[in-house]
Structure 1
């Protein structure tokens, strides 16, 4: 038996079970209709992120929203001067010092996009010169900043569509030079973490998906590996969506991953390929004929849109994949993946960022039409790219199990909230319950889903704690997980309220599964 104690000095006994992974619920952050987003490099300390939204038909009215409090609050921040829709947001790696951000914008049926810079954290924007006029209807897919941007001011820009070249700036976007080696359709430029000394940068081509690498600080990107692991053959996927480079690991290991859509009947059936030696050799991943232990196991048949790397350079090897079937996680550097156990997220996930370190917050762009950076703007009236959601990896995990029973104020709602960061504190809040009514908070170590009083009892019951709701039908209880509970311990809870409008004199909240971090 283990003891769970509340900050209000009530305690109750229950058995704890250990789960293999912590559970949580995705929470929507900000308004609907999100084109893209970016999180602060100093998110663990400043708790900031930015959301770019636009109109339903992708024609103007684009706004920037500022996220504060590690995703808890959102406010309208600014709009681009011409009313264009923001298509891309990029933030300086040294944002905490220089407050610098870049954005690109576009309008449907416009011949080119615009390039913008902000030095006041997105509150105002100044137009920069274009690297070069873009082909009709194209926009910038990528605008990448060197990890040492504060000192070298290196940026690389690449547009969407066929015929687009790659451009390099060494003065923060004031002037640009054309990449001297043909790099049509380059996408997702990615710098090595030690770019300032190694000179390594990476990218992929779209129409004929192949890996490209620069060894000269981004001046020239050459196709495929050097030397090739299979001479004359480039590791590839049917349609390339992105590339990610992990921090330099033990013994100088440089893991690189690129991903997209696989096809069992195509020449390149893989949807996820991996190199652990800076692109010199490739593990061709899942698909017919793949060797045992190949990368991407568990992602078969999925389209991978984006990847977030939680590896801190010490070889932990955790990856998060945004796919056509939700978010998947790998704990072995991309060899195997499994669905991330979390509720409340639309299926298609087109972008993902890990903010605040390996145990920080996950942000994803989910639902609706895939990311326009990848697929181009749909026709007027098409659905939006989706909405922004946050998953807190630290603090108390919470999964909404449903089964609320309506009463006088509708369906009572029970939520668990926790502050960002490693903490054993959390708060249970009941809202939309009958006002000034007797309630029972039920706790157990197992769910039962038993029919009672015209509804469904989710937990136990092992412990019932009587309370009285406030005049607005609310009740808040602060808790602290005790040290005696091991990480992964689970508790199930639900509130039942005396309510004359309920089917048999009771209403009930949704059930929650709580997990200790």
Structure 2
């Protein structure tokens, strides 16, 4: 196991601050959370701490980027896909089976420490260094229509994954949410959602946004996504239908959430997957109810 970096401790501090504000969270909702049936108990955990989640729209496979590497968690018994790499940052690209990630290598790996930006072209089985090896441990990472946006203590953007520009933004994001089909990017912070419309170069706070820790765009194969989902530290789910400009509360996830992803569903009701410490849960009604994802 590689030692954690000061950035990791800083990010954990950010999460701790947000978690410690349940009363603030209660006042940030733009609508009351509707009552609904209790979620079924999620499946038992079989992997370590989850840093990212992705559901392949072509195969419906559920990928979990964890402290111990990449797992296929489509069934109740997750299968390890990659060698042991502490995948702190993780994001799919527009091309099928292409993933980007960051973090620390496992024992025996030839990757640098930290790995900087690495890429897989075989759905996570093998990884190659792209840039910033021994320089960057990106704890937040996402793809956009303009390239990549990442955070390693500084917010950075890149059009090709090799050359990076440093943003003047002063906030520290817990999560960055983007889509290869759009230049809109969302960043979750302890002061609310920040939003960029130019691939992460310039940012503005979203007025009246809820305090959410995890966020994702509801991806669509046909167009730039307009639906986004966010999960507050207490598990409250928020949904946006205008790419993060306004939000409404829809339900709640049971358990401690570690990562979220989403795909476009019916109007205003995206499909949401939440990786929790108790297993992966899925909602097919825009976050109103959740059930175990693995059958």
TM range (shorter): 0.5 to 0.7
> Is 1:26 aligned with 2:43?
yes
> Is 1:118 aligned with 2:120?
yes
**Following TM superposition, by how much is the alpha carbon of 1:103 offset from its aligned partner in structure 2, in angstroms?**
2.6
**Following TM superposition, by how much is the alpha carbon of 1:215 offset from its aligned partner in structure 2, in angstroms?**
1.5
Question: 1:8-407 alignment to 2 at 5 Å?
Answer: 26=43, 32-33=47-48, 36=51, 39=54, 41=56, 44=59, 49=63, 52=66, 54=68, 64=69, 67=72, 74=79, 77-79=82-84, 85-95=86-96, 99-106=97-104, 113-115=114-116, 116-130=118-132, 133=135, 139-146=137-144, 154-159=147-152, 164-171=153-160, 173-180=161-168, 182-192=169-179, 194-195=181-182, 199-205=183-189, 208-225=190-207, 234-237=208-211, 240-247=212-219, 254-261=226-233, 271-283=236-248, 295-297=249-251, 304-312=257-265, 314-322=267-275, 332-334=285-287, 337-338=288-289, 340=291, 362=293, 391-392=294-295
Contact in 2 for aligned 1:271/1:303 (Cα 8 Å): no
Contact in 1 for aligned 2:50/2:275 (Cα 8 Å): no
Measured in 2, the distance between the counterparts of 1:49 and 1:76 equals 9
Query: Deviation string for 1:310-349 (max 9, x for gaps)?
Result: 5335554444555678776655534xx3453x5xxxxxxx
Contact in 2 for aligned 1:67/1:73 (Cα 8 Å): yes
Contact in 1 for aligned 2:192/2:210 (Cα 8 Å): yes
Mark the runs of 5 or more structure 1 residues left unpaired by the alignment: 1-19, 55-63, 226-233, 263-269, 284-294, 343-361, 363-390, 393-517
**Following TM superposition, by how much is the alpha carbon of 1:185 offset from its aligned partner in structure 2, in angstroms?**
0.8
- 1:499 paired residue number: none
Mark the runs of 5 or more structure 2 residues left unpaired by the alignment: 1-36, 106-112
Query: Deviation string for 1:55-95 (max 9, x for gaps)?
Result: xxxxxxxxx46649977784674356xxxx34333332312
State TM-score, norm by structure 2.
0.62
Contact in 2 for aligned 1:49/1:71 (Cα 8 Å): no
Structure 1 residues 280, 101: closer, same or farther in 2, change over 3 A? closer
**Following TM superposition, by how much is the alpha carbon of 1:190 offset from its aligned partner in structure 2, in angstroms?**
1.5
Q: Which has the higher contact order (CA 8 A, sep 6+)?
A: 2
Count of aligned positions:
248
Secondary structure of 1:216's aligned partner: coil
Contact in 2 for aligned 1:235/1:273 (Cα 8 Å): no
Structure 1 residues 211, 33: closer, same or farther in 2, change over 3 A? closer
Measured in 1, the distance between the counterparts of 2:43 and 2:143 equals 30
